[in-house]
Amino acid sequence: MAAALLVLLGYFVVYVAFAANLMQFPFDYDQGEGFELVDTIMFSQGQWPYQDTNVYPFYSSNYPPLFHVMAAPFVWFFGPAYWYGRLLGFLGTLVTAAAIGYAVHRETGHRLVAVLSGLAFLASNTIYHIGPLFRQHMTMVMFETLAVVVLAHANEIEDRGRRRRALALGLGLILCAGFTKQLAYATAIAALAFLFIRNPRRGIVWGMGFAATGVLIFLGINVATDGQWWLQTITANVNDFIPDQTVGLFRLWFSLHGFLLVPAALLVIYEFYFDRLSIYALWFVAATANGILSGKWGAGDSYFATAIAALCLLSGIFMARTLQGQWRFPSNYLSRLLVDPFRRFGKGIGTAALVVVPLLYLGYGRAVLHMPTTGPVFGPIAQFLGLEANALNGFYDSAGRIAGGYADIGHFTTEDDIAAGWEIVELVRSAEGPVLSEEAAFNLHAGKDVITNPTQLLNLAGNGMFESDGLLSMIRNQEFELLVLRAQFYPPDILKAIGEYYRHDDAIEMNGFEYLILRPKSDLNP
Amino acid sequence: MQGNFAVVYCRAMLREDFTLTKRQLGLLLIIIGVAGFAAILAIDIIDVGREGGIGPAQRMALGLMAALALAGLTLLPITDTPA
């Protein structure tokens, strides 16, 4: 067990170092972070980011508001910056890990396994590389996990007042998760199903209250934004589904987390047939099923983050119960068929658990292997382990580039990356008039308007909801002196016009991505 | 007679101390699985303008619904245990 603890603590050190590195990086690390910053700035100024994309500056957001509202006070004190959004995401993962550990300890009383369960969550490749980003996903997972932990024993509280407060708090936390990111609906379904199974009356009454509150907030925002909230966050989110991406990401998820996933699944099966179904089990099932949506265009491995939190919690309970020999199989047709023939081996199985449980955590530690391979601390360790970099900037990631939709990030940024970013900012600053940039940070640092949110325009265009005339007119009139492209996620007609009216002038590499600098074609000057 | 039984049953379900049994949960899962399966198939029947038949997302959802109904079936023999 000590070896398992050492390995998972090692990943925690890598995680903290990565988070510290990212907080010092003043540009997009993951595509689109800058637009989350723009949303935050707009909230700090009392504006909704759900705007009409058919008029200048053609900008809108497709995410619910809570994460950006939480980050907004930082804008008042520190101005536009990436570090506080990344800090919030990072702290959210620590709270989630602590909640997982707390739940495992509450259910089993096993302190070491509780610590291992929390650390296992932070050691996951997916959590590692999404945690310290300026994104709302991990804050959603934090609210979901806290909600589940609060609701898990709410039904057993004898005092009516205390029980009601626990239910209100738990369901309130799920609403917070939902207004952080839409994906939390799966946790809402699991929680309401749990309340219904335990007591249908309570499930129906509280479910109606929960739905009414959510709908009221939703309608309020929709009215306040003149219908843009519905258009931008719901209609625009209906994207193409790529089945191969879902299959690939499920396989990757299993290959990385299989050592903990199997115990978690066994506990779900055990509860299903031999014990009461816990909210943790229903949460795990709902979150895993929700992983199917990872095949949507624009989705990815982050869609498994909730399922990873659930599997770390369930596997922790499974491991602790196994070590403590706490399994009980009440008599039914399955126990007679599958358990009774093996009861005489119970003692031996208990002894084997002392070896198997640490091995499962060690196996998990090997499966999720990720760390820098250079530097005074990580270099010698990587050399000792025989690791060679397979990702950017001397980084090794056991999950790297295996499945489509897996975010190829996790590497540390360098001084060269920061210098390249400032070089682009200087180009933007020296341009006269507006600049169309696919990354918001350059415009923000240069003090220029942020124009468009490319992926949102693409989402809208895919659903026939974007009228490109205004933006096309500006491109055809060459009103932008400079364009900065990265992933080229604009709608096809916009990209076509850019190709017709702008020429490639330069390319600057930053953080492993090539930023294309485009200027107006001089022979087409209107 | 059957109507009375349903009313009595529903009333019992709404009691403060009522909790679902494994068998009742099994029945519920079978109902959800079968109804969900039929509803997903119905998408193609109702939405006559669509082309390409049952898509990959639909197939996954159909699989989920079938699994739900099967899981429900396996709970039916476990009678009075609380779910």
H-only helix segments in A337-405: 346-367, 378-385
C-alpha A410/C-alpha A390 separation (Å) is 11
Give the Cα-Cα-Cα angle A386, A388, A389 (nearest 5 degrees): 150
The residue with tokens 């082309």 is: B51
Average pLDDT over all residues of chain A: 94
In tens, the pLDDT along A114-159 reads 999 999 999 999 999 999 999 999 999 999 999 999 999 999 999 9
Residue A292 near chain B (CB below 8 Å)? yes
Rounded to 5 degrees, φ, ψ at A40 are -65, -45
C-alpha A229/C-alpha A226 separation (Å) is 8
Other C-beta atoms lying within 10 Å of the C-beta of residue A301: 26
Q: Is the distance from CB of A481 to CB of A391 less than 8 angstroms?
A: no
Average pLDDT, integer, range A463-490: 93
Confidence at residue B58, expressed as pLDDT on a 0 to 100 scale: 83
- Considering only the beta carbons, identify the residue of B13, B55, B56 that sits closest to A200: B13
In tens, the pLDDT along A291-301 reads 988 888 878 89
Render A417-465 in DSSP notation, one character per residue. HHHHHHHHHHHHHHSSS-EEESSHHHHHHHT------HHHHHHHHHTT-
What six digits make up the tokens of A316?
């922790």
Q: Is the distance from CB of A109 to CB of A136 less than 8 angstroms?
A: no
Q: Is the distance from CB of A241 to CB of B57 less than 8 angstroms?
A: yes
- Considering only the beta carbons, identify the residue of A197, A246, A272 that sits closest to B20: A197
Whether residue A348 has pLDDT greater than 60: yes
Whether residue A224 has pLDDT greater than 60: yes
Average pLDDT, integer, range A210-228: 96
Residues in chain A, overall count? 526
C-alpha A119/C-alpha A94 separation (Å) is 9
Whether residue B31 has pLDDT greater than 60: yes
What six digits make up the tokens of A152?
């898990």
What six digits make up the tokens of A414?
């360098």
Strand A482-485 and strand A435-437: the pairing is: parallel
Pick from B27, B42, B36, B45: which is nearest to B64 by CA?
Answer: B36
Inspect the interface and report whether the beta carbons of B81 and A292 lie closer than 8 Å. no
Confidence at residue B80, expressed as pLDDT on a 0 to 100 scale: 82
Q: Bridge-partner residues for A510, per DSSP?
A: A513
Exposure string of B24-57, with b = 16+ CB inside 10 Å and e = fewer, is bbbbbbbeebeebbeebeeeeeeeeeeeeeeeeb
Confidence at residue A319, expressed as pLDDT on a 0 to 100 scale: 96
User: Is residue A180 exposed (0-12), middle (13-18) or buried (19+ Cβ within 10 Å)?
Assistant: buried
A513-520, strands of its sheet edge to edge:
A435-437, A482-485, A513-520, A502-510
Residue A250 near chain B (CB below 8 Å)? no
The pLDDT > 70 percentage for chain A reads 98
Whether residue B49 has pLDDT greater than 70: no
Whether residue A493 has pLDDT greater than 80: yes
**Min Cα separation B1/chain A (Å):** 24
A325 vs B74: which has the higher pLDDT: B74
User: Is residue A263 exposed (0-12), middle (13-18) or buried (19+ Cβ within 10 Å)?
Assistant: buried
The residue type of A188 is A
C-alpha A431/C-alpha A323 separation (Å) is 66
Sign of CA dihedral A247, A249, A253, A255: positive
Q: Is the distance from CB of A109 to CB of A323 less than 8 angstroms?
A: no
Pick from A297, A223, A236, A238: which is nearest to A53 by CA?
Answer: A236
Whether residue B6 has pLDDT greater than 80: no
Q: Bridge-partner residues for A504, per DSSP?
A: A518
Average pLDDT, integer, range A102-107: 98
Give ipTM to 2 decimals: 0.87
Inspect the interface and report whether the beta carbons of A243 and B64 lie closer than 8 Å. no
Could you tell me which chain A residue has the CA closest to the CA of B72? Answer: A272
Pick from A151, A127, A155: which is nearest to A19 by CA?
Answer: A127
Q: Is the distance from CB of A58 to CB of A470 less than 8 angstroms?
A: yes
In tens, the pLDDT along A431-443 reads 999 999 999 999 9
Greatest alpha-carbon pair distance for chain B in Å reads 50
Pick from A161, A160, A122, A115: which is nearest to A1 by CA?
Answer: A115
Confidence at residue B53, expressed as pLDDT on a 0 to 100 scale: 72
Render A261-273 in DSSP notation, one character per residue. HHHHHHHHHHHHH
C-alpha A219/C-alpha A221 separation (Å) is 5
Would you call the peptide bond into A80 cis, given omega within 30 degrees of 0 as the criterion? Answer: no
Confidence at residue B3, expressed as pLDDT on a 0 to 100 scale: 63
Half-sphere exposure of A129 (CA within 13 A, CB side): 29
Cα A77 from chain centroid?
26
In tens, the pLDDT along A58-103 reads 999 999 999 999 999 999 999 999 999 999 999 999 999 999 999 9
Inspect the interface and report whether the beta carbons of B18 and A332 lie closer than 8 Å. no
Interface with B, mutate which of A239, A292, A296, A303 (most B CBs under 10 A): A292
Rounded to 5 degrees, φ, ψ at A242 are -115, 100
Confidence at residue A296, expressed as pLDDT on a 0 to 100 scale: 82
The residue type of A97 is A
In tens, the pLDDT along A253-287 reads 999 999 999 999 999 999 999 999 999 999 999 99
Prediction pTM value: 0.94
Rounded to 5 degrees, φ, ψ at A482 are -145, 140
CA dihedral (A56, A79, A48, A186) in degrees, to 10, reads 120
In tens, the pLDDT along A368-422 reads 999 999 989 999 999 999 999 998 888 999 987 666 667 778 999 999 999 999 9
Residue A277 near chain B (CB below 8 Å)? yes
The residue type of A23 is M
Reported confidence tier of residue A526, pLDDT bands at 50, 70, 90: low
Reported confidence tier of residue A525, pLDDT bands at 50, 70, 90: low
The residue type of A262 is V
Inspect the interface and report whether the beta carbons of B15 and A201 lie closer than 8 Å. yes
Q: How many CB pairs under 8 A join A and B?
A: 51
Residue A376 near chain B (CB below 8 Å)? no
